[in-house]
């Protein structure tokens, strides 16, 4: 397949090369078993945003699957800097993947000394759609059919893919996953709600991915004097909440204005993006706007 990518240079196993020509073995365990972990981080004004939290999560995912980190943070920073430079990227999505590599044969048991396949590429990040910000997005709930270690950012995403497909077929932007009546997360987003002025999200557990955007939004909320809470959330609370938010690295916070066809919120404000989202979104955008002034290697995990 001929690929013409807007950001045409990728990084694969130690070299920058045209994405269209990049090749990995079909025996790669990432391809055969989904034996791989990944990260997605945004880049604003040519600078990766929340680099250290994303690196910390990647290191954790690697630890949890027993794969040695192929690069340290300084080396990852070099890779990202190279991707940005080669592609003249400004606002972009940066993708990193580490698989347990290729071996002869097909063995579930990992090799004793795997040689990781390491891949990174960039795609342009389009500006936020004003219609989405004005009107919010719709979500639909579905049973969580994923495995028991959703805290590992694994490329084995078939259940997430199918859930997103079902949501989009139902006219919704995102699938919100529910298990035994409890809210988990979206297929590729953290789900948060606002109740009596508090920003609430489920606590970390093996059932959800620890969201970098969620953590950043919680930090922004605290700075803005908005109370925050981590607790288990019943799916029915989505219908009682004043606001529902989605958080994910490439878009920050999006307002959810419909859950399963019902307007979020009450009275005149129902079905409209709410005031807590507006404040958090404003604070988030203000951070991004100043990003061009932040040196690449600044301690970006202390952003406030």
Which residues are tagged catalytic?
153
Q: How far apart are CA 77 and CA 81, in angstroms?
A: 6
Stated as kind and residue range, the H or E segment containing 134 is: helix 130-135
Return contacts of 1-10, CB within 8 angstroms, 24+ apart: 5/121, 5/123, 6/123, 6/124, 7/83, 7/87, 7/89, 7/92, 7/121, 7/122, 7/123, 7/124, 8/87, 9/83, 9/86, 9/87, 10/83, 10/119, 10/120, 10/121, 10/122
Alpha carbon separation from 7 to 12, 88, 122, 126, 254 (Å, rounded): 14, 8, 6, 13, 26
Measured from the CB of residue 298, what is the shortest distance to ligand PLP in angstroms?
20
SS3 for 14? coil
| Total chain residues near ligand PLP (CB under 6 A) | 13
Interface stretch with ligand PLP, choices 97-105, 242-250, 254-262, 266-274 (CB under 6 A): 242-250
Can you tell me which of 209, 220, 256, 280 binds ligand PLP, judged by CB under 6 A? Answer: 209
Can you tell me which of 212, 241, 259, 281 binds ligand PLP, judged by CB under 6 A? Answer: 212
Size of the chain in residues: 304
Does position 188 bind ligand PLP by CB under 6 A?
Answer: yes
Does position 97 bind ligand PLP by CB under 6 A?
Answer: no
Does position 252 bind ligand PLP by CB under 6 A?
Answer: no
Does position 44 bind ligand PLP by CB under 6 A?
Answer: no
Measured from the CB of residue 292, what is the shortest distance to ligand PLP in angstroms?
22
- Contact present, 80 and 94 (Cβ < 8 Å): yes
Does position 190 bind ligand PLP by CB under 6 A?
Answer: yes
Can you tell me which of 248, 277, 284, 291 binds ligand PLP, judged by CB under 6 A? Answer: 248
Stated as kind and residue range, the H or E segment containing 124 is: strand 117-124
Can you tell me which of 93, 189, 257, 258 binds ligand PLP, judged by CB under 6 A? Answer: 189
Which among 199, 217, 112, 207 has a CA at the least distance from the CA of 151? 207
Can you tell me which of 101, 211, 265, 274 binds ligand PLP, judged by CB under 6 A? Answer: 211
Measured from the CB of residue 188, what is the shortest distance to ligand PLP in angstroms?
4
Q: How far apart are CA 304 and CA 302, in angstroms?
A: 6
Does position 213 bind ligand PLP by CB under 6 A?
Answer: yes
Does position 249 bind ligand PLP by CB under 6 A?
Answer: yes
Does position 185 bind ligand PLP by CB under 6 A?
Answer: yes
Measured from the CB of residue 249, what is the shortest distance to ligand PLP in angstroms?
3
- Contact residues for ligand PLP, defined by CB under 6 A: 40, 185, 188-190, 209, 211-214, 247-249
């Amino acid at each position: 397949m001929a690929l013409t990518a807007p950001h045409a240079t990728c990084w694969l196993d130690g070299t920058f090369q045209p994405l269209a020509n990049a090749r990995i073995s079909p025996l790669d365990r990432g391809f055969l078993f989904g034996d791989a972990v990944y990260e997605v981080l945004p880049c604003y004004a040519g600078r990766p945003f929340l680099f250290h939290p994303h690196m910390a999560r990647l290191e954790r995912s690697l630890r949890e699957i027993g794969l040695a980190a192929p690069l340290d943070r300084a080396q990852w920073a070099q890779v990202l800097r190279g991707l940005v430079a080669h592609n003249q990227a400004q606002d972009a999505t940066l993708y990193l993947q580490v698989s347990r590599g290729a071996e002869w044969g097909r063995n579930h048991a990992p090799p004793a000394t795997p040689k990781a396949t390491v891949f990174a590429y960039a795609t342009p990040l389009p500006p936020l759609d004003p219609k989405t910000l004005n009107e919010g997005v719709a979500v639909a709930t579905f049973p969580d059919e994923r495995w028991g270690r959703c805290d590992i950012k694994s490329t084995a995403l078939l259940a997430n893919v199918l859930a997103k497909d079902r949501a989009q077929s139902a006219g919704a932007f995102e699938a919100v996953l529910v298990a035994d009546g409890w809210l988990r997360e979206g297929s590729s987003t953290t789900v948060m709600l606002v109740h009596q002025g508090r920003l609430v999200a489920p606590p970390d557990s093996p059932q959800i991915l620890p969201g970098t955007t969620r953590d950043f939004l919680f930090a922004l909320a605290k700075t803005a004097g908005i109370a925050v809470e981590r607790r288990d959330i019943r799916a029915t609370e989505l219908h009682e909440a004043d606001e529902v938010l989605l958080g994910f690295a490439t878009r920050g916070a999006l307002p959810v204005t419909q859950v399963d066809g019902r307007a979020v919120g009450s009275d005149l404000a129902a079905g409209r993006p709410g005031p807590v989202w507006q404040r958090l979104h404003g604070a988030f955008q203000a951070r991004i706007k100043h990003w061009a002034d932040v040196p690449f290697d600044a301690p970006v995990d202390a952003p406030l």
